[in-house]
Amino acid sequence: MAYKASGAGYADVARHFRTLIQDGQLNPGDALPSVQEIREQFDVSAKTVSRALAVLKTEGLATGRGSLGTVVATRSRVASTGAARLERLERTGKTYAAGETSTDHVAMIRSCADPDIAEQLDVELYDEIVIRRRVFRQDGRPTVVALSCIHSRALADVPELSQSGQLKPFWQKTYTERTGREVTRGPERRSARLASADELAALEVEAPATAAVPVLVLHTTFHDENGPIEVWEDVYAPGLWQVSSQ
């Protein structure tokens, strides 16, 4: 494999190889270039390379392997954020990270009973919206329950939104092609709350009915020229080793 990149410091070096690993261009057991090769590639010192490799090892992405030098580690339980998924799709055309899949793609039209989602979508409480739900998995294990809450006005241009099953291509791309309206992404917001019984079941978490199980939740709002059009709510499995925004 040809390694081509440029960077000024250890963070640039670490970011480069982190991206290759998370995009599946480097797989568990693959050797990273030697320290000398990385030095020449990035025009940095041996100390800088050592710091970058230490970062990757701390993140669980790489490990030392004797005479082989540094190799990609066996994947830990890592989940990508929604922003990372979109950036990977734009960068590589790949829907999933290495070892990642999604299941249980369900679509429905429901009243919006969540005040926070209603506010983000700029709809009245209990107005009808489109809800699309899927479960992301890493090496077969559920990591994220992902909910897309979509303004009902999008149905006029992309009626496929109401159909269960995975949509290809990404529905926002279809929407832009049909309407000429670009969709932009706002910043992710992180919070925590207690998981619902349905979320715990989807994440295959066994807990007593009376147990309070906290989970990390990420919200991302998307807009077009007419206002908010979609809100992502990603609920992460408790006990994840890492939630990656890269």
pLDDT in the model for residue 2: 45
Q: For strands 242-244 and 78-80, give the pairing.
A: parallel
Overall CATH class of domain 96-244: alpha beta
Q: Where in the chain is the domain with CATH 1.10.10.10?
A: 10-72
pTM, two decimals, is 0.75
Q: Is 154 within 8 Å of 230 (Cβ atoms)?
A: yes
Residue 210, classed as helix, strand or coil, is coil
pLDDT in the model for residue 65: 84
Residue (of 147, 152, 153, 151) closest to 106 by Cα position: 147
Nearby residues of 192 by Cβ (< 8 Å), 6 or more positions away: 214, 215, 216, 217
Q: What is the pLDDT along the chain (246 residues), one digit of tens a residue?
A: 444 455 568 999 999 998 888 777 888 889 999 999 999 999 999 999 999 999 998 878 899 988 778 999 876 566 778 888 888 888 888 888 878 899 999 999 999 999 999 999 999 999 999 999 999 998 899 999 999 999 999 999 999 999 999 999 999 999 999 999 999 999 999 999 999 999 999 999 998 888 899 999 999 999 999 999 999 999 999 876 556 665
Q: Is 126 within 8 Å of 111 (Cβ atoms)?
A: yes
10, amino acid identity: Y
pLDDT in the model for residue 1: 45
Q: Where in the chain is the domain with CATH 3.40.1410.10?
A: 96-244
How are the residues of the chain apportioned to helix, strand and coil, as percentages rounded to the nearest 5?
30, 30, 35
The rounded distance, in Å, linking the Cα atoms of 232 and 83 is 10
Fold annotation for 10-72: Arc Repressor Mutant, subunit A (1.10.10)
Burial 159-184 (b: 16+ CB within 10 A, else e): eebeeeeebeeebbebbeeebeeebe
